[in-house]
Structure 1
Amino acid sequence: MLNLLKGRTETVATDDRLIADFLSGFSIEVMPRTAAKVEDFRALLPQGTRVYVAHIEGTPIEEMVATAKRLRDEGFAPMPHIPARIIKDAAELEEWLVRYTQEAGVDQALLLAGGVTQPYGAFDSSMKMMETGLFQKHGLKRLHVGGHPEGNKDIDADGSSAIADAALAWKQAFAQETGVEMAIVTQFAFAAKPIVDWAERLRNAGISLPIHVGIAGPAKLQTLIKYAISCGVGPSLKVLQKRAMDLTKLMLPYEPNDVVAELAAWQAEHPEGLIKQVHFFPLGGIKTNAEWVNGRLDAVK
C-alpha cells in the first residue's frame, strides 16, 4: 500500500510539474475598463508578464494608450490589440502607433481583423495593415496574429479553413521577410484534441510559427457559455454543455484543469510541436484567473 501511495504521489508531482512548465511565461488580457478596477497588477501577475490590452469597438485610443502605459510603468509588457476594421486609414494607424510607442513604450501588438462587420475605412484585415510597413517603421519587434483551432465562419463561410490557412501562410512569409517575431494566438477552446489536431495540421502544411493557446480562465458556467457562443467557439462548446447537464456541477465555477493538463502532457511528449505557451482570457475576472495560475505555479516551488 505504501508503495502504491508513493507511486501515486510521484505521478501527481510529475503532472504538477508538467502543468507548471506549460503555464510558465503565460500571457493574459485586460480591457481598459477592467484594468481600471485592478489596484496593482504587481500583486497579481509575475513581473514581465505579457498583458494584452483588448480594444473593443468604441474604446477611445486615449484609454488604450493610458492602460498600456500603466502596465509598462508597473513592470509588464503591454501588447495592445490593433483591430483593422475600426481604423479609418493609414494615417490613423500611424497616429495610434506613434502614441503607443512614444507614450507607452510599446514594441509589440496583436493584429486582428476586428469584430465589426463593416470596416470603418481602408482596412478589412490584419494583412492590409501589415502591407503599409508602418509596424516596421515605428519599431514594433513582435507581432502576434489570430488563429482559430475550431474554424471561423466569419473567415471561411463554407466551414473549411482555406482562407484562414492561406492567411497564416502569408503572415509567416511576412515575418520571414521582415524579421519581425511572430506567433499565433488562438481563440479559446474547451478541449485539447481540436487544438492539437489543428496545430499538427498546420505544422504538416509548413507553418512553423509558435502557437500560444487561448484558454478561458475560471468563471461561472453560464458566463462561459455566453462568451463561447458569442465568440463562435466550435465543437468543444459541448464540454460546457455536458457540464451544464450535470446538476451537481451546474452551480460550480468552471476551471480549465482538464484542458490545461492534457495540453501540458502533449507538449511535454511533443517538444517539436508548435504549441509553446498559454494565453488566458480572464472571463471570470483577472484576479480569479491570476490566483488559479499562481496556485499551479506555486505548487512546484
Structure 2
Amino acid sequence: MGGAGLRALLRSVRYEVLPAKATEDKVVAHVPRDVVVTVTASPVKGLEPTLDLVTRLAAHGYRVVPHVPARLLRDDGHVKEVVDRVREAGVDDIFVPAGDANPPAGGYDGALPVLRRLSELGRPFTHVGVTGYPESHPLIHDDVTIQSMWDKREHATYIVSNLCFDPRVLGQWIARIRRRDIPLPIHVGVAGPVQRAKLLSMAAKIGVGESTRFLTKHASWFLRFAAPGGYSPERLLARTEEELTAPSAGVAGLHLFTFNQIAETERWRCAVLERLEG
C-alpha cells in the first residue's frame, strides 16, 4: 500500500467495540479521542449495557455511536426514551441495524420503521447510520438489501458495511450502490488484526445463547482468520485500494471491527500509517 487515499481512510476510522466489563478501560487506555467509537448491542443482554457504556465513554470526551437494533425496541415510547437518554449524554450519531433478536422485543422488525420514527421526532441526530451487506445476507436477497438502502436514504446519513473478505466482491458492491444512485457515504467494515483464540474467547464471554448465534452466523469468519496467511487487514486494503479511494466510490472511512482487541487494533493502525508515511 502506498496511496494518500488509504492514509486518509486510516485516519478516518471508527472502532466497533462490545460492551464488556473491561471495554471502558481499554478504550481510554488505547484509543485517541479523535477516533469514533461505536458500541454494539446484544439481543441477549439488551440495550442497557450499550447505553451505559456510551454514556461513560462520552463523558471521557469520545464521539460515541450507540448501536440501537430495531428488534430490541419495544415501541414508540421506548424509542423516545432511548433518544432522550443518548442525547442527554451529548451523542449526535446513532447506528440503526435491524438486529438479530428473535422474536423482536416489540413491533419493530426492521430498521426502516425506526428511522421513520426518528424523522417524526424531528431528526434528533445529526448522523444516522444503516447497514450494508457486501457479502450476501444469510436470509435476505442482495437485490432486497440494495433496495433497502435506497428506501432508507431519506432518513439516514451514511452506510456501514458488514465484514467482507473478498476484494472483488467489495468493489462490485460499492459500484452497485452507486449505480442505484444511493448517495450515502460508506464506512467500509474491516476486521482488525484478530487473533482467533482471542476471538473465540470473546465470543464465549458474550453468553451461551449469543455465542452460539455468533459462531453459527459467522463460521466462515473463523476459517479465514485461522488459515495460515488467510486474513490480513493490510492485504485486504492493498487489494481494494483503487476501489476504496476512487472519488466515485464515496468511501468516507473505515469501520474497524475490533472484537474488543482494542490495543492490538490501534497498534496495527499506527504501524500501517507509519509505513505508508515512509
TM-score by length of 1: 0.78
Q: Secondary structure at the match of 2:20?
A: helix
Q: Secondary structure at the match of 2:155?
A: helix
In structure 2, the residue matched to 1:186 is 161
In structure 2, the residue matched to 1:29 is 16
The CA distance in 2 between the partners of 1:200 and 1:138, in whole Å, is 29
Moved more, 51-60 or 115-124: 51-60
In structure 1, the residue matched to 2:224 is 240
Name the amino acid aligned to 1:39: D
The alignment status of 1:162 with 2:147, answered yes or no, reads no
The CA distance in 1 between the partners of 2:224 and 2:48, in whole Å, is 37
Asked whether the 8 Å contact 2:16–2:256 carries over to 1, the reply is yes
Name the amino acid aligned to 1:240: R
Q: Which runs of no fewer than 5 residues in structure 2 stay unpaired? A: 204-210
- Equivalent residue in structure 2 for 1:286, among 257, 262, 271: 262
Asked whether the 8 Å contact 1:220–1:284 carries over to 2, the reply is no
Query: In 2 relative to 1, CA 37–143 (structure 1 residues): closer, same or farther, beyond 3 Å?
Result: closer
Q: Secondary structure at the match of 2:159?
A: strand
The CA distance in 2 between the partners of 1:239 and 1:58, in whole Å, is 25
Q: How far did residue 261 of structure 1 move?
A: 1.8
Deviation readout 1:190-221 (Å, 9 max, x if unpaired)? 22211110010111121111111111111224
The CA distance in 1 between the partners of 2:105 and 2:173, in whole Å, is 32
Asked whether the 8 Å contact 1:98–1:138 carries over to 2, the reply is no
Asked whether the 8 Å contact 1:32–1:64 carries over to 2, the reply is yes
Q: Which runs of no fewer than 5 residues in structure 1 stay unpaired? A: 1-11, 176-181
The alignment status of 1:260 with 2:241, answered yes or no, reads no
Name the amino acid aligned to 1:31: L
| RMSD (Å) for aligned C-alpha atoms | 2.9
Moved more, 41-50 or 217-226: 217-226
Query: In 2 relative to 1, CA 70–57 (structure 1 residues): closer, same or farther, beyond 3 Å?
Result: same
Identity percentage of aligned residues: 24
The alignment status of 1:277 with 2:226, answered yes or no, reads no
Name the amino acid aligned to 1:273: A
Query: In 2 relative to 1, CA 282–64 (structure 1 residues): closer, same or farther, beyond 3 Å?
Result: same
Asked whether the 8 Å contact 1:97–1:138 carries over to 2, the reply is no
1:170-249 correspondence to structure 2 within 5 Å:
170-175=151-156, 182-221=157-196, 230-232=216-218, 240=224, 244=227, 246=228, 249=229
Name the amino acid aligned to 1:169: W
Q: How far did residue 124 of structure 1 move?
A: 0.3
The CA distance in 1 between the partners of 2:198 and 2:28, in whole Å, is 27
How many residues in Structure 1 have an aligned counterpart in Structure 2?
266
Name the amino acid aligned to 1:267: L
Asked which structure has the greater CA Rg, the reply is 1
Q: How far did residue 46 of structure 1 move?
A: 2.5
Asked whether the 8 Å contact 1:217–1:281 carries over to 2, the reply is yes
The CA distance in 2 between the partners of 1:33 and 1:272, in whole Å, is 38
The alignment status of 1:150 with 2:135, answered yes or no, reads yes
Q: How far did residue 63 of structure 1 move?
A: 3.0
Asked whether the 8 Å contact 1:110–1:143 carries over to 2, the reply is yes
- Equivalent residue in structure 2 for 1:128, among 109, 113, 126: 113
Q: How far did residue 273 of structure 1 move?
A: 1.2
Query: In 2 relative to 1, CA 229–65 (structure 1 residues): closer, same or farther, beyond 3 Å?
Result: closer
Name the amino acid aligned to 2:238: A
Deviation readout 1:55-107 (Å, 9 max, x if unpaired)? 112335443233112221222111000111111111111111111111x1111
